[in-house]
Homo-oligomer: A and B are copies of this chain.
């Protein structure tokens, strides 16, 4: 079926929903989804459907779709695969336009499941509705407050990152981790087996969606390689697309087949095909989120010339190795900058060079600010990176002193207009000492809110900057 922007848009922005298989049992998927959706507070009627219950979590339950007072925009099916087809048949009769099929048990498990899936698609075509799934977690949209299974704690603040995912589990991981990093979503679709609405449709949709500025995708395999590549090329020519493709190894291909019934395809073919697109390829959830964060705060192609600063010679030497590995540059300081930094840091035991060793983990704030302003203003610097040895610094200056470091970097970022990155970690990870972690998270939230990107290691910062260049 051809791509239709309006159809997908109507599903994602549904104004009324029904949950078939809603349940009082919090351990069932139907109970989990119901609880999540009620907690999230969907912006419209939520009809709970279960033939065996009169009331679910304090709300009236309906025996079937046909007895609902209105036709919902979107129906969630959360009952076992073999019983889901009759619900699809009812969807057609009722004039429903969109369905999310949560259950597994289709083409990923057996020939029989493959037959069920085919029949589901036939019913959709016959009934004039579109399907997301099966074998998925569904939709998250902060605008109308649709949420994933079990995304009770997802933010209701809309943002500009869209995400599509064949894995339900990774969908929720990506939202949680991204939220901690201050990223917000336009929408997310966990589409599982993608029997009807598939990766190419979602890429085209988010490529055109004006709310979406960056697209992320977790992909196991595709059915129609040509259609996928065309859609990816088009989307990536319009906005950054960050693609995490798994299933490159032979053993992974087997795992992919039992997970979403997809053909993962050989690593070589994928490499060659993806090189034709502008998609940014990442590997793993951490790298994915690092790149989304980098795109937000540094933009596409911020430049490869770094000025790396830290309190300690080892940190700088290691950073220089990592930059070379990532294909980034650490050019010599401009002469004027070097002179000014030498003046500012004359009493600190600093080594004025690039990497810039400020001599101690923590300088007095006015000296630190003067130095960082000069460093950011250095003409051949594209990105300023500061690596804080937090365990030392905390001992030297305490909590308030650390927040002052954050404030300095925020001001330098604002004044210079150049991207500023902070590498922030704690080496104190004892079970009974959560204090450094608490302070670190407060600092990170503050920095991220004001446009300073934060990474948990120099290696990850370098890798992410290299990927967006």
**A: which residues have CB within 8 A of B?**
27, 104, 108, 150, 152-153, 166-170, 172-173, 176-177, 179-181, 218, 220, 246-252, 254-256, 258-260, 264, 283-286, 311-325, 330, 349, 351, 353-355, 357, 361, 389, 391-392, 395-396, 427-432, 434, 437-438, 441-442, 444-445, 457, 459
Contact = CB atoms under 8 A, between A and B. Distances in A.
A390 to B, nearest CB: 10
A318 B246 contact: yes
Contacts of A322: 284
Given A321-B249, A357-B258, A220 B314 contact: yes
Q: Which of A249, A317, A431, A434 neighbours the largest number of chain B CB atoms within 10 Å of its CB?
A: A317
Contacts of A355: 251, 255
A433 to B, nearest CB: 9
Contacts of A249: 320-321, 323-325
Contacts of A251: 320, 323-324, 330, 354-355
A138 to B, nearest CB: 15
B396 A27 contact: yes
Contacts of A152: 395
Given A169-B315, A255-B320, A434 B431 contact: no
B286 A255 contact: no
A313 B427 CA distance: 33
Contacts of A392: 150, 169, 172
B255 A313 contact: yes
A367 to B, nearest CB: 14
Q: Which 9 residue pairs of A and B lie closest in terms of their CB atoms, listed nearest first?
A: A259-B313, A167-B314, A249-B324, A252-B320, A180-B429, A169-B312, A176-B427, A255-B317, A431-B445
Contact of A428 (B180, B285, B323, B330): B180
Contacts of A260: 313
A28 to B, nearest CB: 11
Nearest to A351: B258
Given A169-B392, A249-B324, 18 more contacts: A108-B313, A153-B428, A167-B317, A170-B315, A176-B429, A220-B314, A246-B314, A247-B317, A247-B321, A249-B323, A249-B325, A251-B320, A252-B324, A255-B316, A255-B355, A258-B353, A286-B459, A434-B434
Nearest to A361: B169
Contacts of A395: 150, 152
A68 to B, nearest CB: 29
For A315, A349, A457, which residue has the most chain B Cβ atoms within 10 angstroms? A315
A251 B318 CA distance: 10
A258 to B, nearest CB: 4
Nearest to A435: B434
A284 B351 contact: no
A429 B177 contact: yes
Contacts of A330: 251
A459 B320 contact: no
A274 to B, nearest CB: 15
Contact of A317 (B168, B256, B457): B256
Contacts of A166: 314
A353 B177 contact: no
A395 B283 CA distance: 27
A422 to B, nearest CB: 15
A338 B353 CA distance: 60
5 contacts: A150-B392, A220-B317, A247-B321, A255-B355, A430-B441
A250 B395 CA distance: 34
Contacts of A321: 246-249, 252, 283
A331 to B, nearest CB: 9
A104 B357 CA distance: 13
Contacts of A259: 313-314, 316-317, 351, 357
B317 A252 contact: yes
A413 to B, nearest CB: 19
A289 to B, nearest CB: 9
A361 B169 CA distance: 9
A259 B251 CA distance: 46
A260 B361 CA distance: 17
A395 to B, nearest CB: 6
Contacts of A179: 430
B391 A172 contact: yes
Contacts of A357: 255, 258-259
Contacts of A252: 317-321, 324
